[in-house]
Amino acid sequence: MDLRSAKKILKKVEKDYNIIAKEWSLTRSRPRAYQIAMTKRIKKGDKVLDLGCGNAVLYEILAGKSIDYVGLDVSSKLLNLAKKNISSVKKNGERARLIKGDIVDLPFSKNQFDWVLSLAVLHHIPSRELQKKSAEEIYKILKPGGRIVISVWNLHTVYAREKFKLNDFNLLRPRGWEKNDFLTPWKATLKKIIQRYIYRFNKKELYDLFAKAGFKKIKVGYGDKNGEWTKSLNKSYNIILEAEK
């Protein structure tokens, strides 16, 4: 996708998630098995960035671990819900804060975080240029030896193509879009049909993106609904990447 179109899509993503925030949050009111699996190695004292935190459901898993939690999201409406969720589970003395921000221009200085978790976020970032910028921003803010866990939807399965109504033969894509750029419908409570933007990554593309940003010890593979690695394309829900700075 060309950069001009991509910047418009970024604004659309923010607007769309503000519209669907309440309904979206209801569908993610409890941590999912794969999210629990991806946080097991986080230890006491770690500084963790939940990048694209949504309603901060991940904090329910991390509360009580005595970590320094930062949740960042582009949607102010989701951050309002995140604030309520954190207040309900936060332990005395724990550090947790929320910031409105954008993955392509993170408001942090270098070498700040032990962990960056970004689950089901990067596929909402359009264009190779902005995806590249996102990976570089994540690299910048990690401490040396810091680790990342990234997940994107696996949109190559029969299930995903049907669920998200992906049409590879759509000849009506907007000018500047590419074959892996899609809009997928979300019917909000106001009876509006919100067309959310998603990008279809493959494993090699995700690997190359983070390798070029400087990451090492990269592992990319398919993840099932429980967050376990699987070799089966059609049993997978996500493509998962783990790496180290």
Residues of the chain under the 50 pLDDT cut: none
Q: Tell me: the pLDDT tens digits for 96-138?
A: 999 999 999 999 999 999 999 999 999 999 999 999 999 999 9
CATH value of 3-244 in 3.40.50.300, 3.10.20.340, 3.40.50.12280, 3.40.50.150: 3.40.50.150
Buried b (16+ CB within 10 A) or exposed e, 32-66: bebbebbbeebeeebbbbbbbbbbbbbbbbbbebe
- The predicted pLDDT at position 244 comes to 98
Domain ranges of the chain: 3-244
Task: Note the pLDDT of residue 187.
Answer: 66
Tell me what pLDDT residue 24 has. 82
Q: Which two tokens stand for residue 12?
A: 């659309």
Q: What is the pLDDT of residue 205?
A: 97
Q: pLDDT at position 93, please?
A: 67
pLDDT of the residue at 60? 87
